[in-house]
Amino acid sequence: MPARWKSNGPHVWERGAGQARRAGRAGKAKQTDERGFEVRSSRFSELRTPNPELRIAPVALGVPIARLRGIMSEQQGTQATRSLCDELQITAEELQSRLAFLSFDAQDGRNLVEIREVISSRIDEMIGAFYDHLLQFEELRGILSDPTLVERLKGSQRRYMLSLGQSADCVEYAEGRLRIGYTHERVGLKQKWYLGAYSKLFELIVRRLTTRYAGDAGRLSSLILTLNRILTLDEIFVVETYYQATMQRLEGSLEKLNEAHRQLIEISRLDPLTQVSNRRALLESLELELRRSHRYHHPFAFLFLDIDHFKEVNDRYGHAFGDKVLQRIVGVARGQVRPPDIIGRYGGEEFAIGLVECSQEGAVRIAERIRLRIAEASIQWEQNVASVTVSIGIAMLTPDVDRVETLMNRADRALYEAKAKGRNRVEVCTGASA
């Protein structure tokens, strides 16, 4: 793209030293910039702000009517603060580069003025022909069966066509075109329809240009080239933001899938009744902690907890009450351990607790607190009230223990010792044999 633009006539801006000035004026002719694009004063600045309804031009097809109505009505409020140009890094310089790549020059700017004049003079005829073409297809006839919606779509397309290429060198123009693609993707519009719509629109305009300039082949050729460039620019914007919106939607879906996968893994590792680790997850966590404790020479205590006479509780009060007892036991145990500690349901009424970086004295204190809290608690459900006790066996990790099973066997032996001594007790394994 040339850095400077010389005057190409009385209505063309001449750019120099970073400024633009008028090269001349002829009566009340429209002011144009160095590309021939129309220059409007600030009081018409609102014309550069894309009309929200332009975002579904040239036509929205393949979209459920109720959904399309909702999109059209909410666009202005929900998207007003979101800049797609910013997201796609389309600056004024980037837009200039895109125009240069399409070989836009001042002549194209002047051509666009003529193209819009031709469109304006035949706009109703072209829109009618456009919709006649759409209604040849069964899928589209069902979508376009609502007369009110069709009138809104026609109004949207009218504004799109009358603004074709107007201030195409401004980011506001790009923003409006980008929103077309964003909306198309959001409502699930099939690409075959909206890409085909650009081709049909090109054909309809070319036919009118051919009628107007039939005797001037050179002029007609120049106008058709310009029309192709501006529609290509618009189509690139639509495809680009459609892709961007698709990627954002897919990324969002991927995040949701990852979160769902994480939750499924978490659920698969939990005991559904007590919401602590199930047996498989418990053993995995204990194995990891055993290795870590050996590596860093940290103390580790393992507790086996069993509810005394739990079968009698189930037989007397029923399994539903028994479930409440299990949940209450877990609640008490959780209240006495730290976040890094491990707690899980080993099976039935047996629970296992791993106390990270905990000495034997500390483990005994924690076990006694758990035992006392449970013994002092009354468990009530419906008309039933009962109290239970627990027996706890403790085993400490020693250098000779390299398997979780060995540690568990030692704690299990201490647990049975507590049972043998009358239950509702805490015992520590003192022997080294498994």
Instruction: Map residue 286 onto helix, strand or coil.
Output: helix
Residue 282 main-chain phi, psi, to 5 deg: -60, -50
- Which are the catalytic amino acids? 349
Structure tokens at 41: 């004063």
Residue 378 dihedral angles phi and psi, to the nearest 5°? -105, 130
Whether 90 contacts 171, CB under 8 Å: yes
Burial 202-215 (b: 16+ CB within 10 A, else e): bebbeebbeebbee
Alpha-carbon torsion angle 313, 316, 318, 323, nearest 10: -10
User: What is the DSSP code (8-state) at residue 91?
Assistant: -
Tell me the CA distances in angstroms from 203 to 103, 126, 144, 243, one per residue in order: 21, 10, 22, 26
For 59-105, where are the alpha helices, taking DSSP H only?
A: 65-78, 84-87, 92-101
Alpha-carbon distance of 307 to 305, in angstroms, equals: 7
Residue 5, amino acid: W
R_g of the chain, CA atoms, integer Å: 38
